[in-house]
Amino acid sequence: MSSERLIYLALGGAGEIGMNTYVYGWGAPGKERLILADVGVTFPDMDSSPGVDIIFADIEWLAERADRIEGIFITHAHEDHVGAVGHLWDRLKAPVYARAFTGHHARRKIEEYGHDPETVNIVAPWPEQIEVGPFKVGFAPISHSIPESSALIIDTPGGRIVHTGDFKLDATPIVGEPFDEAFWADIGKGGVHALVCDSTNVFSPKPGRSEATVGPEIVKLVENAPGMVVATTFASNVARVKTLAEAGEAAGRSICLLGRAMRRMIEASVLTGVVTDFPKTISPEEAEDIPRQNLMLLVTGSQGERRAASAALSRGKYLGLELAEGDTFLFSSKTIPGNEKGVIRVMNALSEKGVDVVDDGTDIYHVSGHANRPDLDRMHKLIDPKMVVPMHGEHRHLREHAKLAETNGAASVVAVNGSMVDLTGDAPKIVEYIEAGRTYLDGSVQIGALDGIVRNRLRMAMNGHVIVSVIMEDDELVGEPWVDLMGLPETGSSNAPLQDVLEEDLSQLIGRASRTTRADDDDLEDDIRKAVRKSADDEIGKKPEVTVVISRLA
Amino acid sequence: MSSERLIYLALGGAGEIGMNTYVYGWGAPGKERLILADVGVTFPDMDSSPGVDIIFADIEWLAERADRIEGIFITHAHEDHVGAVGHLWDRLKAPVYARAFTGHHARRKIEEYGHDPETVNIVAPWPEQIEVGPFKVGFAPISHSIPESSALIIDTPGGRIVHTGDFKLDATPIVGEPFDEAFWADIGKGGVHALVCDSTNVFSPKPGRSEATVGPEIVKLVENAPGMVVATTFASNVARVKTLAEAGEAAGRSICLLGRAMRRMIEASVLTGVVTDFPKTISPEEAEDIPRQNLMLLVTGSQGERRAASAALSRGKYLGLELAEGDTFLFSSKTIPGNEKGVIRVMNALSEKGVDVVDDGTDIYHVSGHANRPDLDRMHKLIDPKMVVPMHGEHRHLREHAKLAETNGAASVVAVNGSMVDLTGDAPKIVEYIEAGRTYLDGSVQIGALDGIVRNRLRMAMNGHVIVSVIMEDDELVGEPWVDLMGLPETGSSNAPLQDVLEEDLSQLIGRASRTTRADDDDLEDDIRKAVRKSADDEIGKKPEVTVVISRLA
């Protein structure tokens, strides 16, 4: 037995917020049986991944060990935890386990890729445990901002691991099970070897507030609003959507859901029994006939997404509905870093329509779904583990959380994606670094983040693109070089068309080139590229990307 | 006289934060004599302006009326107010007026473009007034976050205008003149026709805090820091830089300035007499020999800019200096929306080095340079103008500020860039809309934001770029079509190289095309483009940009 070990390896989610993908293993080194906790996505941006559709962990390491994977356990239905299960299942082919609401979403994703949705097993909450290989895994209900969030209680020959998933301490969460201190103390009673723990809000100094504190404020706002009220939040925050709908209902307003994700989430909640008493909603067609002071819309797009309902309403008529002077638009949400400009764009477009925007700046219409620093502290003390492994955070969050754990007398470690941690002893120890990168879904193709494809897109975006076509016959230029420009100004310092200047320069260059150069595609291409970059730099102060096509007539 | 009018026209800065460029005019409609208040820049981003160097207002309207411009008045030396004076002066050729510190920067910018720096006239503060055409303009000292910020007092035949520039109410601003209520009440005494007023912080509900409140907190932080202390802030916030330096000095540390902007600003402050008692600084070479607990670096890069000193220090050794476990890094600054990801990148890189990062989240190490809502309210009451024209804000700020003005009994208007406002009567009235766009400095060329050049860059970045080269002779294909890919995956669903698939498809397409199509460049190009987009969509799920080069042999 002493040669067996318990390992933890983040492939995503540690050193970033998003893309959660965690591996646990038990066995002889290199022969561990493995389970996966979550397999999520993260989102592309123009700065680093233009044109990319979605991003997930590079699971090459796992795929090479697919025969050792006992199961995939999904803690909750947020995209950064379940989003990649459809894209990656083909390479893992292990059974998936989740509670009903989460499983509902996982099944749809698996099905979209043409796999059998029944590979997703719906599991009852703790005390039920799934036995897979050397592991017994149970789903312990824990409060967060989506229904049926669960921590994983993973019993191993090396001791018990509590993998929190995302969580907060909320005794009145509106939807789902309240956080239950006695329950968690009980989970810790027999001794917990490792607490692997959400770090998102470790820098928030005050205890987190309950979801229940939001409702009364929203009721006041809706009651006092003179015109139509529109509210946006994450569609998956079913408790919030319900709170908003109930506030609208209390104020005598009809409720209309706009946006596919919003309707889908509420449907899934009702279907899986998570929510039984959601207020009656009306269709957009029905909403058109309701006086605006009697109407409340609940819409997608809290992050300013261009295609979501919020942005559509800010631009003009959407599904027959249009905002006007005196209406109120509530962002019952937090803006995720990087989305500020999109959110501000929507706010200003609403302002142009005379709509009063109420945002989360005041911190009364939104609460976070993650445990703040005092809450993390409380969780450490309830569970009283031998060690704390911080996850779900950027490096700065993990580091701060590890410090907090050590203050509480637990061993800890800062382990980012790719750091394999041996949890077997009294303290976690990084024993190996494996390559842990990102995979981009680009159209229908999965490409590596470092394949150079996206780098070339960024270069074209920064520098523009010049295409040169020359035809050679017997190592002599046929006609003139042809130049096309893409993403570049038409004229530069000489006031002649840039295209003409480049063609003329290349004509001279090739005329002057030695026969050896003219005979060699690589040499000729190299000279042409350099000449284009130099001439462009002189003319327009930029060195563009250059593609050279040399055709040789037989 | 009744046919003359007083006009206000923002070409930049109204409906956005940045690019401040405001025009005032007096005269018969269409013949007004004009002055310009500020001529600033705004900054590009990957989402909308990749590859662009800097952005300023499209001044076409002004340039066409250059003979009517009496002068350009610069309120202060922030880039969003003075940054475009070098780039655009050539098209305006009007004398520039500024106080010494601001003028110092304006002269350098004018000189960089090869113009005479003496076109910038250094003006003493109020009560001095410059008489240009029908205007008398004075620079009234007002507190902000850069030395010698000034409001413009513009006396016109239509009454007095107070153009605030950027300001806050700070009675103890550390550097420069304190905000003086009696002075401003006096300015208002004879009656102010229009207050054209900063709107940036209209959504901040509490009165602003003085620059002087920051010092004591920083002193405590620096005194208690065990290792090296590094602090970053805007270089132009000379008061803050001085506060930081003094805190370091008080804690017995040697002070070293890193980053060109930081050194330049302090030099300019000393040179123009704005600061006379800046603590002694040492060079990076000298700093290398100082024990780290006795050293404090003041560095550029508070916005996470990749090339600034902060980012360089987060990555590794910079000018011989390197951070280590136990050092402290202070962001004495606010992150501007859109810069979050860059700042977070620097913070995490510092965390990896074991450096403790203190950011502005706690709001004790930074104060804003703009008047908050109660401060705006106070300013309205001090000046008691007939009308308030909100400027320096996004649409939502202008709208909220206009509401506040109306509450205070002043007429108001929401006038975004391009809305010409007639200020002559009792209430401001929009009388005309002129085209007010953006000009991009791209390398060394000025291009219009809507010229399509940057749009093509964004398209290449999103979709990739396929280059097709075909050679035709007597309307028959010579050899095979040649395909190059840029920014696209090499293989798609058929597992054959995408290049081969496209070449094969095009070969067949051209083979099947009618002779009429083969003879017509436009038709042939069109068919090729469509075929490439269709085949690529089938293979990789993306429709790329396509450049087609057809060469015809004589």
- Find the closest chain A residue to B541 by CA distance: A443
For residues B35 and B183, state if they share a domain: yes
Q: Within a domain: residue A458?
A: no
Q: How many CB pairs under 8 A join A and B?
A: 200
Mean pLDDT of A27-54: 97
Instruction: Using an 8 Å CB-CB cutoff, list chain A residues near B464.
Output: 51, 453, 457
For residues B47 and B174, state if they share a domain: yes
Q: With the C-alpha atoms ordered A296, A300, A302, A307, is the resulting torsion angle positive or negative?
A: negative
The string of pLDDT tens digits covering residues A508-546 is 999 999 999 999 999 999 999 999 999 999 999 999 999
Which CATH number belongs to the domain containing residue B158 in this structure? Answer: 3.60.15.10
For residues B153 and B274, state if they share a domain: no
For residues B191 and B74, state if they share a domain: yes
Q: Within a domain: residue B453?
A: no
- Find the closest chain B residue to A459 by CA distance: B461
Q: Within a domain: residue B287?
A: yes
Instruction: Using an 8 Å CB-CB cutoff, list chain A residues near B551.
Output: 469, 471, 479, 482, 551
Q: Within a domain: residue B517?
A: yes
Q: What is the pLDDT of residue A402?
A: 98
For residues B324 and B342, state if they share a domain: yes
Of A348, A465, A554, the CB nearest to B396: A348
The string of pLDDT tens digits covering residues A447-478 is 999 999 999 999 999 999 999 999 999 999 99
Instruction: Using an 8 Å CB-CB cutoff, list chain B residues near A348.
Output: 15, 394-396
Instruction: Using an 8 Å CB-CB cutoff, list chain B residues near A352.
Output: 395
Q: Which of A414, A448, A482 is the last residue of a domain?
A: A448
Q: Which of A333, A358, A383 is the last residue of a domain?
A: A358
Cα separation, B291 vs A400, in Å, equals 26
Q: Which of B321, B339, B358 is the last residue of a domain?
A: B358
Which CATH number belongs to the domain containing residue A222 in this structure? Answer: 3.40.50.10710
pLDDT at B159 over 60: yes
> What share of chain A has pLDDT > 70, as a percent?
99
Which CATH number belongs to the domain containing residue A472 in this structure? Answer: 3.10.20.580
Q: Within a domain: residue B491?
A: yes
For residues A172 and A36, state if they share a domain: yes
Mean pLDDT of chain A: 96
B46 half-sphere exposure, CB direction, 13 A CA radius: 22
C-alpha distances in angstroms, A539 versus A500, A534, B24?
12, 9, 37
pLDDT at A363 over 80: no
Cα separation, A402 vs A415, in Å, equals 10
Mean pLDDT of chain B: 96
For residues A478 and A440, state if they share a domain: no
For residues B13 and B130, state if they share a domain: yes
User: B444–A540: do the CB atoms touch at under 8 Å?
Assistant: yes
Mean pLDDT of B409-433: 97
For residues A174 and A76, state if they share a domain: yes
Question: Any idea which of A416-425, B198-207, B332-341, B425-434 has the lowest mean pLDDT?
Answer: B332-341
Cα separation, B472 vs A194, in Å, equals 71
Using a CB–CB cutoff of 8 Å, tell me whether B114 touches chain A. Answer: no
For residues B326 and B229, state if they share a domain: yes
Q: What is the pLDDT of residue B338?
A: 87
| A273 min Cα distance to partner chain B (Å) | 37
Best of A469, A482, A493, A553 to substitute, by most chain B Cβ atoms within 10 angstroms, is A469
User: B541–A50: do the CB atoms touch at under 8 Å?
Assistant: no
Using a CB–CB cutoff of 8 Å, tell me whether A213 touches chain B. Answer: no
pLDDT at A86 over 70: yes
pLDDT bracket for residue A1 (50, 70, 90): very low
A247-252 LR contacts (CB < 8 Å, sep 24+): A247/A215, A247/A218, A247/A219, A247/A221, A247/A222, A247/A296, A248/A222, A248/A279, A248/A296, A248/A298, A249/A279, A249/A280, A250/A219, A250/A222, A250/A223, A251/A219, A251/A222, A251/A223, A251/A296, A252/A294
Q: What is the pLDDT of residue A321?
A: 97
For residues B288 and B188, state if they share a domain: no
Residues within 8 A of B (CB atoms), A 457-516 only:
457-458, 460-465, 467, 469, 471, 478-479, 482, 484, 486-489, 491-493
Q: Within a domain: residue B457?
A: no
pLDDT bracket for residue A554 (50, 70, 90): confident
Q: What is the pLDDT of residue A362?
A: 66
User: B484–A337: do the CB atoms touch at under 8 Å?
Assistant: no
- Find the closest chain B residue to A358 by CA distance: B203
Domain that holds residue B341: 215-358
Mean pLDDT of A61-78: 98
> What share of chain A has pLDDT > 90, as a percent?
97
pLDDT at B1 over 60: no
pLDDT at A2 over 70: no
For residues A80 and A229, state if they share a domain: no
Best of B202, B347, B368, B396 to substitute, by most chain A Cβ atoms within 10 angstroms, is B396
pLDDT at A187 over 80: yes
Number of domains in chain A: 3
Q: What is the pLDDT of residue A299?
A: 98
- Find the closest chain A residue to B546 by CA distance: A486
pLDDT at B38 over 60: yes
Q: Within a domain: residue A453?
A: no
Q: Are A52 and A118 in contact (CB under 8 A)?
A: no
Q: What is the pLDDT of residue B546?
A: 98
pLDDT bracket for residue A365 (50, 70, 90): very high
Residues within 8 A of B (CB atoms), A 4-63 only:
15, 45-47, 50-51
| Tokens representing residue B321 in the block | 């200096």
The string of pLDDT tens digits covering residues B285-300 is 999 999 999 999 999 9
| Strand spans (E) along A321-437 | 328-331, 356-358, 387-391, 411-412, 419-422, 429-433
Q: What is the pLDDT of residue B360?
A: 67
Mean pLDDT of A157-179: 96
Give the CA radius of gyration of chain A: 28
Of B352, B396, B464, the CB nearest to A357: B396
pLDDT at A78 over 50: yes
Cα separation, B179 vs B149, in Å, equals 11
pLDDT at A300 over 50: yes
Q: Within a domain: residue A484?
A: yes
Q: What is the pLDDT of residue A338?
A: 87
Using a CB–CB cutoff of 8 Å, tell me whether A551 touches chain B. Answer: yes
Give the CA radius of gyration of chain B: 28
